[in-house]
Amino acid sequence: MKKKILSCLVAVFALVAANFCMGFELVSYDETKYCGSGSFTDESETIYYSTKETASYSMKGDVPEYYRLTDNSGCAVIAGTVLIGYYDRFCEELVPNYKTYVKIGTAIKYRGESFEIKAVMEELYTLMETDSSTGGTTYNGFHKGMKSYVNSHGYSYATEDLGNLDFNKYKSAVENNKPVALFLDNYSFAVTGEDNGSYEVIKSHHSTIAHVVVGCGYKVDTYYNANGQVISTRTYLKVATGLDQYRIGYLCLDGKSGIDRANSIIIQ
């Protein structure tokens, strides 16, 4: 009996140690599956103002804009591949024998979805335990799959928890060239509206499908009245959407998108 109890304790301690070393918090009760694209509804609002200021930032070259997969359950896989494609700039064997980008002068341009990139997607699909029949990938499955892939290519994988979005921490992450994985319960992407200098029509497409995107920048619009008082602000995250119709686009905040979890990703 003592030997049996001792064996159980050793197994428990080994599991705890393994989870600690993974560099992220396991959430065993979180079975939400992030699955990808779905139908969208149109949304619109109008803000009247006297003056407007915009503060924005984008990571150099942004991140890759991969979006194709054979089913709609693969948004987490695509997001993971975006992260692999980005960090291959610094960890050159993340995608073996392949360079994910080209430099044109000082500019960075990512290559499209080659055979090598699709191979990464297929590997992550398995490692993340993505299941198209039951609706995609869990939060834990995403990180387990990413860690397994990165470690198997000789690099380390770590995350910083940004809660359900600490915007100041998000800004710090992207300004320090650390892309952010965003796990969305629902979301709105900004589309072209109208701004004539005295009012702005803000248009967006909203979906209730759980989704994963990769943040690489932000934009904050601040609106003032004639007395110079702030009357409204609108905040957007620049993201790799994983969707063909948006590619690199802007995720609307201010109550328009539900963020379950946000993690800055570090591969080195």
Average pLDDT taken over every residue of the chain: 89
- Look at 30-34, 243-247, 260-264 and tell me which has the smallest mean pLDDT: 30-34
The pLDDT assigned to 6 comes to 40
At 30, the pLDDT band (50, 70, 90 cuts) reads low
**Cα–Cα distance, 70 to 169 (Å, whole number):** 34
Inform me whether the pLDDT recorded for 9 exceeds 60: no
Amino acid (one-letter) located at 228: G
Considering only residues 28 and 33, tell me which one the structure prediction assigns the higher pLDDT: 33
| pTM for this entry | 0.88
Inform me whether the pLDDT recorded for 7 exceeds 50: no
Q: Kindly state the percentage of the chain with pLDDT values over 90.
A: 80
Inform me whether the pLDDT recorded for 20 exceeds 70: no
> Could you give the C-alpha distances from 215 to 48, 65, 158, 231, in angstroms and in order?
29, 11, 16, 27
The pLDDT assigned to 36 comes to 74
Inform me whether the pLDDT recorded for 58 exceeds 60: yes
- Span 63-71, average pLDDT: 83
Inform me whether the pLDDT recorded for 133 exceeds 90: no
At 215, the pLDDT band (50, 70, 90 cuts) reads very high
- Look at 14-18, 151-155, 201-205, 237-241 and tell me which has the smallest mean pLDDT: 14-18
The pLDDT assigned to 27 comes to 45
Inform me whether the pLDDT recorded for 157 exceeds 70: yes
Amino acid (one-letter) located at 65: E
> Could you give the C-alpha distances from 124 to 50, 143, 178, 189, in angstroms and in order?
49, 10, 20, 26
Inform me whether the pLDDT recorded for 19 exceeds 70: no
169-192 pLDDT, tens digit per residue, is 999 999 999 999 999 999 999 999
Inform me whether the pLDDT recorded for 82 exceeds 60: yes
Rounded-to-10 torsion of CA 64, 68, 73, 75: 10
Please answer whether residues 266 and 160 qualify as being in contact, where contact means their C-beta atoms are separated by less than 8 angstroms.
yes
